[in-house]
Amino acid sequence: MEYTVGSIAPIFLAPVLAFIINAFFGRKLPRQGDWLATLSIFISFIFSARIFSDFVFGKFATDFYVHKTFTWFDLSHASAVWKVDMGIYLDNMAAIMLLMVSGIAFLIHLFSTWYMDHDEKHGRFFVFLPLFTSAMLGMVLSDNLFSLFIFWEIMGFCSYSLIGIYNKKEKAGDASLKAFMTTRVGDVFLLLGIVALWMVLGSVTYVDIYAAIAEGKFAGQTVMGISFATFTALCIFLGAMGKSAQFPLHVWLPDAMMGPTPGSALIHAATMVTAGVWVTLRMYPLMVLGDITWFIAVIGAITAFGAATIATVQTDIKAVLAYSTLSQLGYMIMGVGVGSYNAAFMHVITHAVFKACLFLSAGSIIHTVHEQEMPKLGGLRKYMPYTHFAMMACTLAIAGIPFFSGFVSKDRILGDALYFGFMAGQNPMLAIVPILGFAGAGLTAFYMFRMMFLTFYGENRMHHDSHGHGHGHKDAHGHESHGHEIHQEHLDVRQNVPLLLLSIFTLGFWFAGTLTGQSFGKVFGKKVEWFKVLVEAPRVEQFVGHNRQPWGSVDSRDKTELPHAHYHHQSGYAGPNPDDHKIHKAHTIGAIASIIIAFSGVFLAFLMYIQHTVKPWADTFSGITTTLQNKYYFDKFYIDVLIKKGLLGLNRGLAWFDMGVYDRFAVDGWAAVNRVLFTASRWFDNVVIDAIGVDGTGVAVNLFNLVLRIVQSGKIQFYFIMLIMVLVSYIWTLKF
Amino acid sequence: MSGILNWVLWLPIIGMVGVLLTPKENEKAIKLVTLVTTAITLLLTIVLYLKFDTNTPDMQFVFKIPWIAQFNINYSLGIDGITLPMTFLNALLFFICTLSSWTVHKSPKGYFALLLMLQSTVFGVFFSLDFFLFYVYWEVMLLPMFFLIGIWGGENREYAAIKFFLYTFFGSIFMLVGIIALYYASGAGPESFNILAHQGGKFVNETLTIFGHTISFEKTMFWFMFLGFAIKVPVFPFHTWLPHAHVQAPTAVSVILAGVLLKMGTYGFLRIAFPIFPAAAVEYSTIIAVLGLISVIYGAFCAMAQDDVKKLVAYSSVSHMGFVMLGLSAMTVQGMNGAVLQMFNHGTSTAMMFLLIGILYERSHHRWIVKPDGSKGFGGLYTKLPKYSVVFIIGMFASLGLPGLSGFISEALIFLGIYQRFTTITVIAVVGLLIGAAYLLWMFKRMFFGEVNPECEEYEDMDNREVFYMLPLCACVIFFGIFPAPLLNVMKASVGQLVDLLAKFQV
Chain B residues whose beta carbon lies within 8 Å of the beta carbon of residue A727: 136
Residue B321 confidence class, pLDDT cut points 50, 70, 90: very high
Q: What share of chain A is helix, strand, coil (3-state, %, to 5)?
A: 70, 5, 25
Instruction: Specify which of A673-682, B372-381, B471-480 reaches the highest per-range mean pLDDT.
Output: B471-480
State pLDDT tens for residues A506-519. 888 788 766 544 44
Which residues in chain B are closer than 8 Å to A654, comparing Cβ atoms?
298, 301-302, 305
CA angle A312, A316, A319 (to 5 degrees): 70
- Residue B413 inside a domain? The answer is yes
Q: Which of A535, A414, A449 is nearest to A97 (CA)?
A: A535
Chain B residues with beta carbon closer than 8 angstroms to that of A72: 485
**In A505-659, where does DSSP find H-type helix?**
509-512, 518-524, 530-534, 580-606, 617-620, 622-629, 634-636, 648-656
Other CB atoms within a 10 A radius of the CB of residue A9 amount to 17
Higher-pLDDT residue of A7 and A736 is A7
Look at residue A558 and tell me whether its pLDDT is greater than 50.
no
Total domain count for chain B?
1
B66 conformational bin, left if phi > 0, alpha if psi -120 to 50, beta if neither:
beta
Nearest to B173 by CA among B139, B127, B216, B214: B139
Give the pLDDT band of residue A471 (cuts 50, 70, 90): very low
Query: Is pLDDT of A261 > 60?
Result: yes
Find the angle CA(A674)-CA(A680)-CA(A682) to the nearest 5 degrees. Answer: 100
Q: Does residue B304 contact residue B439 with C-beta atoms inside 8 Å?
A: yes
> What is the nearest CA distance from A147 to chain B, expressed in angstroms?
9
Closest CB to A716 among B146, B304, B334: B146
Q: Is the pLDDT assigned to residue A671 strictly greater than 80? A: no
User: What are the domain boundaries of chain A?
Assistant: 292-468+494-512+578-629, 638-735
Contacts of B500 in chain A (CB under 8 A): 77-80
Asked if B392 and B444 count as a contact pair (C-beta separation under 8 A), the reply is yes
Residue among B305, B404, B488 minimizing CB distance to A654 = B305
Residue A575 has pLDDT above 50, yes or no: no
Respond yes or no on whether the N-terminal peptide bond of residue A248 is cis (omega within 30° of 0): yes
Hey, which bits of B37-143 come out as E strands?
60-68, 73-79
Three-state DSSP state, A554: coil
3-state secondary structure of A514: strand
B238-B240-B244 Cα angle (round to 5): 145
Check pLDDT > 50 for residue A364. Answer: yes
- Angstroms from A602 CA to nearest CA on chain B: 42
SS3 A68: strand
Closest chain B C-alpha to A252 CA, distance in angstroms: 15
Count of H-run helices and E-run strands, chain B = 23, 4
A728 touches B at CB < 8 Å: no
CA gap B339, B265 in Å, rounded: 12
Residue A557 phi/psi, 5-degree rounding, is -65, 135
Owning domain of residue B462: 284-507
In chain B, the residue whose alpha carbon lies closest to the alpha carbon of A75 is B492
Over residues B133-159, mean pLDDT: 89
A467/B contact by beta carbon, under 8 A? no
Task: Find how far residue A289's CA is from the centre of its chain.
Answer: 24
Q: How far apart are CA A353 and CA A504, in angstroms?
A: 10
Q: SS3 breakdown of chain B: % helix, strand, coil, rounded to 5?
A: 75, 5, 20
Residue A157 has pLDDT above 90, yes or no: yes
Task: For residue B442, list chain A residues with Cβ-Cβ distance below 8 A.
Answer: 177
Q: A717 or A249: which carries more pLDDT confidence?
A: A249
Question: Closest Cα partner for A502 from A332, A319, A276, A349?
Answer: A349
Distance CA(A89)–CA(A204), nearest Å, equals 13
What residues of chain B, 455 to 494, have a C-beta less than 8 Å from chain A? 484-485, 488-489, 492-493
Q: Sort B482 into a burial class: Cβ within 10 Å, 0-12 / 13-18 / 19+.
A: middle
B78: confidence class by pLDDT, cuts 50, 70, 90 = very high
Strands B207-210 and B213-216: antiparallel
Q: Is the peptide bond before B237 cis (omega within 30 degrees of 0)?
A: yes
Comparing CA positions, the residue from B134, B87, B92 lying closest to residue B340 is: B87
Beta carbons within 8 Å of A181's beta carbon, 6+ residues apart: A252, B434, B437, B438, B441
pLDDT of residue B162: 85
User: Does residue A329 have a pLDDT over 80?
Assistant: yes
Q: B66 forms bridges with which residues in the sheet?
A: B74
Look at residue A169 and give its three-state secondary structure: coil
The DSSP symbol for A28 reads G
CB A567 within 8 A of CB A521: no
Question: What mean pLDDT value characterizes chain B?
Answer: 91
Residues of A within 8 A of B496 (CB-CB) are: 75-80
- pLDDT tens readout for residues A11-41: 999 999 999 998 888 788 888 888 888 999 9
pLDDT tens digits along A293-327: 899 999 999 999 999 999 888 888 889 999 999 99
Burial of residue A87 (number of CB atoms within 10 Å: 0-12, 13-18, 19+): buried
DSSP A463: T
The conformational region for residue A241 under phi > 0 = left, psi -120 to 50 = alpha, else beta, is alpha
Q: How far apart are CA B262 and CA B245, in angstroms?
A: 12
Q: Is residue B371 part of a domain?
A: yes
Best residue in B75, B238, B240, B498 for a mutation probing chain A (most A CBs within 10 Å) = B240
Distance CA B87, CA B48 (A): 9
The whole-chain average pLDDT of chain A stands at: 81
Contacts of residue B240, Cβ cutoff 8 Å, sequence gap at least 6: A658, A659, A662, A663, A667
Do the chains contact at A180 and B162, CB–CB below 8 Å? no
Quote the crossing angle between the two packed helices A273-282 and A341-369, to the nearest 10°.
Answer: 170
* Degrees to nearest 5, angle at CA A588 with A587 and A589: 90
pLDDT band at A532 (very low <50, low <70, confident <90, very high): confident
Q: Does B430 contact chain A (CB < 8 Å)?
A: yes
Residues of chain B neighbouring A188 (CB-CB closer than 8 A): 430-431, 433-434
A663–B441 C-beta distance less than 8 A: no
At A366 the pLDDT is 87
Res. A150: pLDDT tops 60: yes
* d(C-alpha A178, C-alpha A173), whole Å: 8
For B26, residues 6+ apart whose C-beta sits below 8 A from its C-beta are none
A168 vs B136, B240, B451: nearest CB: B451
Is the confidence at residue A161, as pLDDT, over 50?
yes
- A416/A709: higher pLDDT: A416
> Which one-letter DSSP state was computed for residue A656?
H
Residues whose CB is less than 8 angstroms from the CB of residue A382 and which lie 6 or more positions away in sequence, other chains included: none
The reply to whether B356 falls in a domain is: yes
pLDDT in tens, A432-461: 898 999 999 999 999 999 898 888 888 877
A652: pLDDT confidence band, cut at 50, 70 and 90?
Answer: confident
CA-CA-CA-CA torsion sign (A513, A516, A518, A520): positive
- The full length of chain B comes to 507
Least confident window among A15-19, A595-599, B84-88: A595-599
Quote the percentage of chain A above a pLDDT of 90: 27
Instruction: Provide mean pLDDT across the span B220-225.
Output: 90
Q: What's the average model confidence in pLDDT over A366-373?
A: 84
Confirm if A431 and A293 have CB atoms less than 8 A apart.
Answer: no
Q: Is the CB of A716 less than 8 angstroms away from the CB of B165?
A: yes
The helix-helix angle for B285-304 and B309-330 (nearest 10°) equals: 160
Tell whether the model's pLDDT for residue A392 goes beyond 80.
yes
Percent of chain A with pLDDT over 70: 82
Q: How far apart are CA B387 and CA B476, in angstroms?
A: 18
Cα B140 to chain center, whole Å?
17
Q: How would residue A696 be classed by pLDDT, with cut points 50, 70 and 90?
A: low
B414 within some domain? yes
Query: Measured between alpha carbons, how far is A572 from B407 in angstroms, rounded to an integer?
Result: 41
Cα A331 from Cα A348, distance rounded (Å): 9
Structure confidence at residue A488 as a pLDDT band (50, 70, 90): confident
- Which segments of B49-146 are extended strands (E)? 60-68, 73-79
pLDDT of residue A573: 41
Residues 389-428 on B with a CB inside 8 Å of A are 397, 402-404, 408, 412, 415-416, 419-420, 423-424, 426-427
For residue B302, the chain A residue with the least C-alpha distance is: A655
Which residues pair with residue A393 across a beta bridge? none
Helix (H, G, I), strand (E, B) or coil at A166: coil
Residue numbers in B near A223 (CB within 8 A)? 423
| Higher pLDDT, residue B359 or A569 | B359
Instruction: Report the C-alpha gap between B139 and B121 in whole angstroms.
Output: 9
Q: Are A672 and A712 spatial neighbours (Cβ–Cβ below 8 Å)?
A: no
- What does residue A79 show for φ and ψ, rounded to 5 degrees? -115, -5
Provide the CA A283 distance to its chain's centre, in angstroms: 16
Average pLDDT in the A107-135 region?
89
Contacts of B139 in chain A (CB under 8 A): 723
> CA B282 to CA B274: how far, in whole Å?
8
- Helix B423-448 crosses helix B285-304 at what angle (to 10 degrees)? 20
Question: CB contact, 8 Å: A673 with chain B?
Answer: no
Q: What are the Cα distances from residue B360, in Å, to A294, B105, B381, B388, B421?
A: 53, 18, 10, 9, 43
Length of chain A: 736
Residue pair A259/A476 in contact by the 8 Å Cβ criterion: yes
Identity (one letter) of the amino acid at A130? P
B137 touches chain A (CB under 8 A): no
CA distance A528 to A524: 8
**How far is it, in rounded angstroms, from Cα A11 to Cα A593?**
42
Has residue A128 got a pLDDT over 80?
yes
Mean local confidence (pLDDT), A206-234 = 88
Helix (H, G, I), strand (E, B) or coil at A77: strand
Asked if the C-beta of A520 comes within 8 angstroms of chain B's C-beta atoms, the answer is: no
